């Protein structure tokens, strides 16, 4: 398509606030027929909100969304759908008691209360769509019996049924194998020739680079870069957001002599979410007193790894803690055994005060011990002292993160798992958090397993680094070698 | 159709039902008559719960409106058919009133609203005891018939007609769209379906049949009272009937209703224990067959 074709979808000044949080701030883009735009950003950057605003699932506070010349901003979802926008959701929720064919037929039905039977052409069209997305062989099966990739095909088929002018695809390749990625890429590429405008929403440029014409990168609700995939990947701001700034490392000389015995030993760990494989033969180990960082982009499998260690998801493979297998123990017993996770969602008790949250963490300690621990933590995070009486839910994101870490430390863990502490935090907060972690590392014998997307944040504290990509550990080594060996390939 | 297990279950069941007056005594005919009206209550509830995904704890709000509406109109001198129509319209208006919070609230909050609606209705009936008869109940001047056999025919015919309509609706495009909205509103809207419109329609249809059945029950029993058409224990019975018979099967509710009411009678010699035993059996069925009896029989072979 030539550059003079008028755009199918024009978004201008799109803004969405949730309470005090600005999730999307003045975002604008255009997609012409036959063009594929990638919308990327780390978790919490607002990219999914943009997609929901276009689909009408959320209503924008300001801005226009023009579809073929009509402003659809603020319309109800079903009208937007009828007007020519289709969405391929990341998670499929088909009707389980109906067959694949019936599920596709559902998407072809008119929005009428009085048409009791589908018209004859519907059946033919449903079969044609099934053929097109590669579901022809399983058309009479029920969704529960299908492999994961076929469920994604079904979502694609439902979105196609309306013959949409604009197709929104949420994380097109999450959970797919390399071969399946190729077929899905071909399917999405097919939209190009049909003159549809496509918006691909994903965590990172890498996974969509081969498919997109242009990429728009977001961070904290704002537009940070736009251009070809290569331009965006080499953009300074984008690199700072994903990797952080210049990489620093602080090796500790005395550590390796102490080591040898593994405190935590994970071997050949595999985890499936339904039919999607989230971890594939992952092996890591952490020695007592070590500070180990697991870095990888959102969706690589870090959180799944931590949840398996904490006993929150079923797995195959072996996880040994202090010489004994953890299999079969409840999450509570694992936590009492000394592995405390500070999850990326923080899971604070929002209506309780800062002090109450901390007291809950120290519930099992004797009073004198608890007071000592509390005093030490308030010294480590002075801001929490000032906020002691405030409800946790009203704290800023950075303060909440510090409280979550402090609460985890109240439990006096032998191993602290920190899952993406930098999620959605502004750079200045990162620095405070970084200083607290540095003090923790230098002044206490605690063992830490840190999961991060932000390499610059993770590396200065690390004694050893694992890189997780697409459900597998792809690199292991000390942080000094990371910059040289992984620096450019990471994004 | 000939290969469907439902067909082979339905044909003998209908034959048995249609010939019942020739081999059943008046006493048991009466029990089945009541059970059939409860069957319609259950089917209407299943359309909302099983298909539209709305946990409505207030089916007796709709039934009560239909029953008392019809009863009051009859006391005002209207003939039975008009009373039934009037009662149903009142029930549908009640259904719309119930749908409004349902479209705004999610999960337990909507359930609570429906519970409160029932309590409000009971309060109104007690407060306006002058016209409604209050806690004692309201007599109606007309009854459908005084013959057990004729009453049985009315109930059986009514059940078959309502069952056919509701079953066809559930298997139609509308039923498919309702299931989609019940399972995931956002996805249904993204497929271009006006969720509000379809949910509202489900409430209206459910209210129409609930109200109509409530009215019929009143003209069968000759009285309307809180205990027989509004009380929360009736809600519990309807819910157990649907879960026992099979959620999202429509016809399962009829099976459940007949089981609950018939066994409650058959086990009467056990004295106070009868309800206990029936509840125990229902509980066992729900634990062992989470899809209900009919749901289990109709389960697709592939996933069995």
What percent of chain A lies above the pLDDT cut of 70?
Answer: 93
CA max distance for chain A: 78
CA-based nearest residue to B45, from B227, B215, B257, B195: B257
Residues B256/B36, Cβ–Cβ less than 8 Å: no
* pLDDT tier at B303, thresholds 50, 70, 90: very low
Of B169, B183, B195, the CB nearest to A95: B183
**Which 8-state DSSP code applies to residue A326?**
-
* Cβ-based burial of B233 (10 A; exposed 0-12, middle 13-18, buried ≥19): exposed
pLDDT (tens digit per residue) in A352-394: 899 899 988 888 888 898 899 899 988 888 888 888 888 888 7
Residue bearing the bigger pLDDT, B38 or A459: B38
Report the candidate in A281, A308, A250 with the shortest Cα–Cα distance to residue A474.
A281
Contacts of B258 (CB under 8 A, 6+ apart): B32, B35, B36, B39
Judge: B172–A82 Cβ closer than 8 Å, yes or no: no
Question: Looking at the complex, does the CB of residue B300 fall below 8 Å from at least one CB of chain A?
Answer: yes
Q: To the nearest whole angstrom, how far is the Cα of A81 from the nearest Cα of chain B?
A: 5
What confidence tens digit (pLDDT) does each residue in A395-422 have? Answer: 777 788 889 999 999 988 999 999 988 8
- Asked if A98's CB is within 8 angstroms of B191's CB, the reply is no
B161-212 pLDDT per residue, tens: 999 999 999 999 999 999 999 888 899 999 999 999 999 999 999 999 999 9
Percentage of chain A lying above the pLDDT 90 cut: 37
Chain B stretch 196-215, residues whose beta carbon is closer than 8 A to a beta carbon of chain A = 197-198, 201
Classify residue A110 by its DSSP letter.
-
Given CB atoms, is A256 within the 8 Å cutoff of chain B? no
**pLDDT (average), residues A228-255:** 75
Q: How far apart are CA A327 and CA A267, in angstroms?
A: 12
Does position A165 have pLDDT exceeding 90, yes or no? yes
Q: Which residues of A touch B186 (CB under 8 A)?
A: 57, 77
Candidates B172, B193, B302; nearest CB to A111? B193
Which DSSP symbol is given to A165?
S
- The pLDDT value recorded for residue A247 is 64
Task: Tell me what the mean pLDDT of segment A89-114 comes to.
Answer: 87
- pLDDT of amino acid A220: 84
Q: Which residues of A touch B50 (CB under 8 A)?
A: none
Confidence at A243, pLDDT banded by 50, 70, 90: low
- Which of B191, B205, B301 is the best substitution to test chain A (most A C-beta atoms within 10 A)? B191
CA-based nearest residue in chain A for residue B179: A95
Residues of chain B contacting residue A111, judged by C-beta atoms under 8 Å apart: 192-194, 197
Q: Predicted confidence band at B118 (pLDDT cuts at 50, 70, 90)?
A: very high
Which of the two residues, A330 and A254, has the higher pLDDT score? A330
| Average predicted confidence (pLDDT) for chain A | 86
Judged by CB atoms closer than 8 Å, whether chains meet at A89 and B187 is answered as yes
Q: Kind of pairing, strands A166-170 and A85-88?
A: parallel
Which ipTM value was assigned to this complex? 0.85
CB nearest to A78's CB, from B168, B183, B189: B189
Residue B233 sits at the chain A interface (C-beta within 8 Å)? no
Which residues in chain B touch residue A57, judged by CB atoms under 8 angstroms apart? 186, 189-190
pLDDT recorded at residue A259: 53
Facing A93 at nearest CB: one of B169, B187, B192:
B187
pLDDT, position B302:
43
> Which phi-psi region, left, alpha or beta, contains residue B82 (left: φ > 0; alpha: ψ -120 to 50)?
alpha
Query: By mean pLDDT, which of A451-465, B25-39, B249-263 is the weakest?
Result: A451-465
Average model confidence (pLDDT) across chain B: 91
pLDDT of A206 over the 80 cut: no
Query: What pLDDT does residue A51 have?
Result: 94
B291: nearest CA partner in chain A: A97
**Contact check, Cβ <8 Å, B195/A78:** yes
Q: Give the helix/strand (H/E) hosting A339.
A: strand A339-342
pLDDT higher than threshold 90 for residue A471: no
- Full domain range(s) for residue B148: 5-303
**Confidence check: pLDDT of A291 > 50:** yes
Q: Which of B99, B169, B175, B187 to mutate to test the interface with A (most CBs of A within 10 A)?
A: B187
**Could you tell me which chain B residue has the CA closest to the CA of A58?**
B186
Higher pLDDT, A180 or A2: A180
A102 contacts in chain B (CB < 8 Å): 176
Per-residue pLDDT, averaged over A60-86, amounts to 94
Q: Is the pTM of this model over 0.95?
A: no
Q: Does the distance separating the beta carbons of B192 and A89 come in below 8 Å? A: no
The 3-state DSSP class for residue A279 equals strand
Higher pLDDT, A254 or B47: B47
Q: Which two tokens stand for residue A418?
A: 């920190």
CB neighbour list of residue A259: distance below 8 Å, 6 or more residues apart: A287, A288, A289, A290
Under an 8 A CB cutoff, do A97 and B248 touch?
A: yes
Each residue of B12-57: pLDDT tens digit? 999 999 999 999 999 999 999 999 999 999 999 999 999 998 889 9
pLDDT value of position B226: 93
Q: Which two tokens stand for residue A469?
A: 């990509």
Tell me: pLDDT of A447 over 60.
yes
What's the pLDDT score for residue A1?
47
**Residue A103's closest chain B neighbor by CA?**
B176
B172–chain A Cβ distance below 8 A for any pair: yes
Structure tokens at A142: 């029920």
Structure tokens at B229: 């058409």
What was the pLDDT predicted at A201? 92
Using CA atoms, how far apart are residues B278 and B280, in angstroms rounded to an integer?
A: 5
Q: Would the pLDDT of B304 be above 50?
A: no
Kindly state whether A163 is in contact with chain B, defined as any CB-CB distance less than 8 angstroms. Answer: no
Q: Which of A93, A111, A116 sits opposite B172 (nearest CB)?
A: A116
SS (H, E, C) chain B: CCCCHHHHHHHHHHHHHHHHHHHCCHHHHHHHHHHHHHHHHHHHHHHHHHHCCCCCCCHHHHHHHHHHHHHHHHHCCCCHHHHHHHHHHHHHHHHHHHHHHHHHCCHHHHHHHHHHHHHHHHHHHHHCHHHHCCCCCEECCCCCCCCHHHHHHHHHHHHHHHHHHHHHHHHCHHHHHHHHHHHCHHHHHHCCCCHHHHHHHHHHHHHHHHHHHHHHHHHHHCEECHHHHCCHHHHHHHHHHHHHHCCCCCCHHHHHHHHHHHHHHHCHHHCCHHHHHHHHHHHHHHHHCCCHHHHHHCCCHHHC
Total domains present in chain B? 1
Percent of chain B surpassing pLDDT 70: 97
CATH number at B35 reads: 1.10.3470
Sheet bearing A85-88, strands edge to edge: A85-88, A166-170, A197-202, A36-40, A214-219, A222-227
CB contact under 8 A, B300 and A97: yes
Residue A295 has pLDDT above 60, yes or no: yes
B300 CA to chain A: closest CA distance, Å? 8
Give the pLDDT of residue B191.
92
What is the model's pLDDT at position B223?
94
């Amino acid at each position: 398509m030539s550059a003079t074709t008028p755009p199918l979808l024009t978004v201008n000044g799109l803004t969405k606030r949730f309470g005090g949080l600005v999730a999307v701030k003045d975002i604008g883009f255009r997609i012409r027929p036959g063009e594929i735009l990638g919308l990327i950003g780390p978790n919490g950057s607002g990219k999914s909100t943009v997609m929901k605003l276009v689909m009408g699932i959320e209503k924008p506070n300001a801005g226009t969304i023009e579809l073929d010349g009509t402003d659809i901003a603020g319309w109800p979802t079903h009208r937007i759908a009828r007007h020519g926008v289709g969405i391929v959701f990341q998670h499929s929720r088909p009707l389980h008691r109906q067959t694949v064919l019936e599920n596709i037929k559902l998407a072809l039905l008119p929005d009428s209360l009085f048409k009791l039977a589908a018209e004859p052409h519907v059946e033919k069209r449903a079969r044609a769509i099934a053929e097109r997305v590669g579901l022809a062989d399983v058309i009479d099966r029920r969704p529960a019996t299908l492999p994961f990739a076929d469920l994604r095909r079904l979502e694609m088929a439902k979105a196609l049924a309306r013959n949409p002018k604009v197709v929104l695809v949420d994380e097109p390749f999450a959970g797919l194998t390399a071969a399946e990625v190729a077929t899905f890429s071909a399917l999405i590429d097919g939209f190009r020739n049909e003159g549809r405008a496509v918006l691909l929403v994903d965590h990172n440029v890498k996974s969509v680079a081969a498919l997109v014409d242009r990429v728009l990168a977001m961070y904290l609700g704002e537009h940070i870069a736009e251009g070809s995939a290569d331009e965006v990947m080499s953009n300074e701001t984008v690199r700072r957001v994903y990797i952080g700034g210049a990489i620093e490392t602080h090796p500790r000389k005395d550590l390796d002599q102490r080591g040898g015995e593994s405190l935590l030993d994970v071997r050949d760990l595999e985890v499936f979410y339904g039919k999607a494989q989230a971890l594939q033969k992952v092996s890591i180990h952490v020695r007592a007193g070590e500070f180990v960082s697991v870095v990888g982009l959102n969706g690589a499998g870090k959180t799944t790894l931590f949840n398996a260690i904490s006993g929150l998801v079923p797995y195959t493979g072996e996880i040994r803690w202090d010489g004994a297998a953890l299999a079969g123990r409840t999450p509570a017993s694992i936590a009492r055994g000394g592995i405390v996770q500070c999850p990326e969602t923080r899971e604070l008790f929002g209506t309780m005060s800062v002090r109450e949250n901390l007291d809950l963490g120290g519930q099992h300690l004797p009073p004198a011990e608890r007071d000592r621990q509390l005093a030490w933590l308030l010294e480590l995070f002075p801001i929490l002292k000032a906020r002691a009486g405030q409800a946790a839910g009203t704290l800023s994101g950075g303060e909440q993160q510090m409280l979550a870490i402090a609460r985890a430390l109240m439990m006096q863990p032998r191993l602290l798992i920190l899952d993406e502490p930098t999620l959605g935090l502004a750079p200045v907060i990162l620095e405070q958090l970084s200083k607290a972690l540095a003090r923790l590392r230098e002044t206490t014998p605690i063992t830490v397993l840190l999961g991060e997307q932000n390499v610059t944040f993770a590396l200065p504290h690390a004694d050893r680094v694992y890189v997780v990509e697409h459900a597998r550990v792809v690199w292991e080594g000390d942080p000094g070698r990371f910059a040289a060996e992984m620096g450019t390939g990471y994004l | 159709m000939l290969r469907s297990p439902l067909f082979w279950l339905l044909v003998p069941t209908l034959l048995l039902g249609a010939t019942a007056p020739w081999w059943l005594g008046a006493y048991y005919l009466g029990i089945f008559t009541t059970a059939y009206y409860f069957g319609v209550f259950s089917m209407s509830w299943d359309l909302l719960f099983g298909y539209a995904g709305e946990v409505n704890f207030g089916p007796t709000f709709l039934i009560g409106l239909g029953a008392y509406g019809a009863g009051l109109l009859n006391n005002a001198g209207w003939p039975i058919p008009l009373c039934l129509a009037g009662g149903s319209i009142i029930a549908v208006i009640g259904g719309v009133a119930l749908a409004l919070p349902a479209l705004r609230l999610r999960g337990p909050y909507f359930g609570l609203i429906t519970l409160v609606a029932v309590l409000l209705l009971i309060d109104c009936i007690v407060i306006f005891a002058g016209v409604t008869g209050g806690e004692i109940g309201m007599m109606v001047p007309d009854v459908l018939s005084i013959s057990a056999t004729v009453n049985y025919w009315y109930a059986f015919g009514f059940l078959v007609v309502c069952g056919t309509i509701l079953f066809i609706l559930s298997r139609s495009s509308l039923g498919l769209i309702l299931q989609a909205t019940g399972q995931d509103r956002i996805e249904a809207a993204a497929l271009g379906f006006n969720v509000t419109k379809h949910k509202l329609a489900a409430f209206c249809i459910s209210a129409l049949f609930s109200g109509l059945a409530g009215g019929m029950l009143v003209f069968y029993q000759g009285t309307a009272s809180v205990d027989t058409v509004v009380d929360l224990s009736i809600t519990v019975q309807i819910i157990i009937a649907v879960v026992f018979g099979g959620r999202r099967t429509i016809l399962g509710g009829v099976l459940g209703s007949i089981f609950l009411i018939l066994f409650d009678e058959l086990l009467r010699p056990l004295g106070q224990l009868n309800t206990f035993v029936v509840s125990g059996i229902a509980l066992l069925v729900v634990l062992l067959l989470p899809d209900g009896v009919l749901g289990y029989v109709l389960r697709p072979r592939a996933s069995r």
